[in-house]
Amino acid sequence: MTLAAVMRALDGPLAVEEIELNPTGPGQVRVRLAAAGVCHSDLSLANGTLRQPLPAVLGHEGAGVVVEVGAGVTGIAPGDHVVLNWSPPCRSCWYCEHGEPYLCLHGDDAARVPFATSGDEPVYAGLGTGAFAAETVVGAHACIPVPADIPLAEAALLGCAVLTGVGAVTNAAKVQPGQSVAVIGLGGVGLAAIQGARLAGASAIVAVDPSPTKEELALSLGATHFMAPGNKLAREIRGLTGGIGADHAIECVGRGETIRSAWSVTRRGGTATVVGLGSAMDPVQFNALEVAFFARTIVGCMYGSTDPAVDVPILLEHYRAGRLNLAALVTDEVSLSGVGEAFSRMRDGRGARTLVRFA
């Protein structure tokens, strides 16, 4: 039996209960979690913004130690330290064969089938990962090995926030040295995007969030300016950029209004990269003149347009060289029973990442 935070109803409490993980099947790996970050996508799955079969164990930003491997698994063994990939590519579909593994047709296969039982009931793993549990069972291709000297609590953040935020800047937006970047929304993902902009050599890095408590952390991670969202934002950003607007905006909230704002703060010919995952009921509006006139590009971005197998080692090099601050993204630590309080903080825009730590 494995302790897990189980969600039985939309917006319901996450009760810490014993579940029975499925046996580790062929090609699968059982992992003992060391830490799991609470991401806004977990909250979106919990409140119905994103679809989730129930009952479910959420959590998709995890790292831990392999405890068992199934038949046919090679290259990974008990004792190995791993970061979990919540969209593991099949390596053989059209997207995988065309260099876009983050759009793999099978990336969500594991989310569609139960990974455990509770009594007679099947239990699903949020984003196929189920990291709010002491142990989980995932495909071997969802495990990215990390060297044993990397603290697992920091490695966990690579699994979603950092791959997504840094990847959005370097892989999707492809920010060039000297360019100006506005990052809208300063949770774990946006604060990672700020670090990505710094790594890319951006000149001005404007951090945007309604919560003034985010300013200090954003500036310490590389932002050059902090601004509140609102009607004046585009004008204020033009004021910083010779009157033209930002070369890039990175949207890390997931709302129609902020996607629209990301587009509006860029210069003519600029690029807005949308990382946030919002509701299918929340529209984004453009008028028929401005799209052609401003000649901007809007880019959607899944998982930072990364291949975790390739990009996690690159991020670890930045980490080792002191260029990527993972620990600073964690503002709260809780046990398994604390996911609900992490959701409350997130709803209020308080703190950055909450990390669930396993004893």
CB of 193 to ligand APR, least distance (A): 9
Spatial separation of the C-alpha atoms in residues 68 and 25, rounded to whole Å = 10
**Structure token pair of residue 313:** 């080692």
Asked if 126 touches ligand APR (CB under 6 A), the answer is no
Q: Which of 5, 39, 157, 302 is close enough to bind Zn ion by CB under 5 A?
A: 39
Residues 265-324 that bind ligand APR (CB under 6 A): 275-277
What does DSSP assign to residue 219? Answer: H
* CB of 245 closer than 8 Å to CB of 271: no
Amino acid at 83: V
The one among 8, 333, 349, 357 contacting ligand APR by CB under 6 A: 349
Closer residue to ligand APR in complex, CB, 130/278: 278
Structure tokens at 276: 């946030």
Q: Work out how close the CB of 29 gets to ligand APR at its nearest, in angstroms, rounded to a whole number.
A: 25
**CA–CA separation, 76 vs 191, rounded Å?**
32
Query: Which of the choices ligand APR, Zn ion, none does residue 344 contact, using the CB cut-off of 5 to 8 A by kind?
Result: none
Report d(CA 10, CA 91) in Å as an integer.
34
Question: By CB under 6 A, is residue 4 in contact with ligand APR?
Answer: no
* Interacting residue with Zn ion among 41, 87, 195, 258 (CB under 5 A): 41
User: How much of the chain is helix, strand and coil, in % rounded to 5?
Assistant: 35, 30, 40
The SS3 call for residue 37 is: strand
CB-count burial class (<10 Å; 0-12, 13-18, 19+) for 150: middle
Figure out which of the listed residues 76, 90, 150, 299 binds Zn ion, where binding follows CB under 5 A: 90
String marking each residue 164-203 x if it binds ligand APR according to CB under 6 A: x-------------------xxxxxxx-------------
Strands 28-38 and 246-251: unpaired
Residues 16-55, mask of contacts with ligand APR (x by CB under 6 A): -----------------------xxx--x-----------
Binding site residues, Zn ion, CB under 5 A: 39, 41, 89-90, 93, 96, 104, 160
